[in-house]
Amino acid sequence: MIIPLIQALYDPHTRMPRDLPFYEQAIKEIECGALSSQIYYLLKQCDRWAQVPLFFQERLTLQYHATLCLNVFIKHQTDQLLSELENLGIPVIPLKGVYFAEKYFGHLGARATTDIDLLLHKCDLQQAIACVKLLGYTIEQEGASSHFHASFSKQLPHSRIPLTVELHWDLLIEKTSNLTISEFWKQATPMASFQFVKELSEYHTFYMICLHGWSHYMDSPKYFIDIIQMLHRYPDHIHYSHLFRDAAVHQTLRRMIRTLVHVYAHFPHLSDIKELPVQHKNKLYGKYQTTKRRNFEQLASKIYHKFFIFDSLTHTLAALIHFTNRLGNLPLSHKIKKM
């Protein structure tokens, strides 16, 4: 439902939806997907705020201010954690989160976040875990041995939802690619006045954001918006010949192409900004749906996406083994809910 709205917010040649029922349904999907702050920001940026109904403005504004307050708190918590890791001499790179919102959207409140994602070297993991626990993140979440991050949470006053820190040492499940994370570290640069706290290059941030969207089946407009925003903001830092060459070496090429074809198929104006050197067919996905209807076509697409979009049979088998191990560790009630 909200894809036409996002198209209009990024493409000045696309007319804004005018039907009141459209906005009544759109605001439900926006709030359900935690997209209020991004839509609010984009409407303001493209000077189309006055073109949406008053009730739509009011609902977006309310959620935007709530997101801003939460992001201010999360940034404070992130800064505290980064300072401790800096003092310990542990190299670390923030992924997504509040810094992504500031750099790529232009404002702290322009993109909602609920946790803190950090990339570090695997050899520093235990020392980083000790640091995280000292700061109160003592609730450890179990994960499969082949996973690529460890999660620790702490309860917050007056909140049912804890704040979680995810310590990543890679971007993909073990043995499902030939991705060399050291390449990302080599091009990372120190952030602000830090020595050990670094930020990914724009190119590697785009690479990471594409893989992140793929890992979530591109099942929310927020994954589209992140990719589109980067293409609008830093088109000269993203070169598809370079990206596809690296992805071929890393054996993530099919995942990368599938993700970008999906984005370009729904947002054809992107070809005017950065031409995608592959055909924009979208047969495997079909028409984009923001509702959570479960049907055979969607299920088949997700199964194909999860297990059969790899560049090698070895990586497919690794994904199947990881899924089986993870499913075996889940409580029975959780398995039933997920089925």
Share of the chain above pLDDT 70, in %: 91
How far is residue 218's CA from residue 212's CA, in Å, rounded to a whole number?
A: 9
pTM higher than 0.85 for the full model? Answer: yes
Confidence of residue 84 (pLDDT cuts 50, 70, 90): very high
CB 113 within 8 A of CB 123: no
Q: How far is CA 111 from CA 42, 124, 226, 329, in A?
A: 10, 30, 9, 33
Give the CA angle between residues 31, 35, 36 to the nearest 5°.
70
Give the residues across from 115 on adjacent strands: 164
Dihedral sign (CA 232, 235, 241, 247): negative
Which residues are within 8 A (CB) of 5 and not within 5 positions of it... i.e. 6 or more apart?
A: 16, 17, 22, 26, 39
Residue 255 CA, distance from chain mean position: 15
Mean pLDDT score, 58-76: 97
Share of the chain above pLDDT 90, in %: 77
Q: Give pLDDT, residue 337.
A: 36
Write out pLDDT tens, residues 249-288.
999 999 999 999 999 999 999 999 999 998 765 544 444 5
φ, ψ of residue 120 in degrees (nearest 5): -145, 170
In the Cβ-directed half-sphere of 15, how many Cα atoms lie within 13 Å?
3
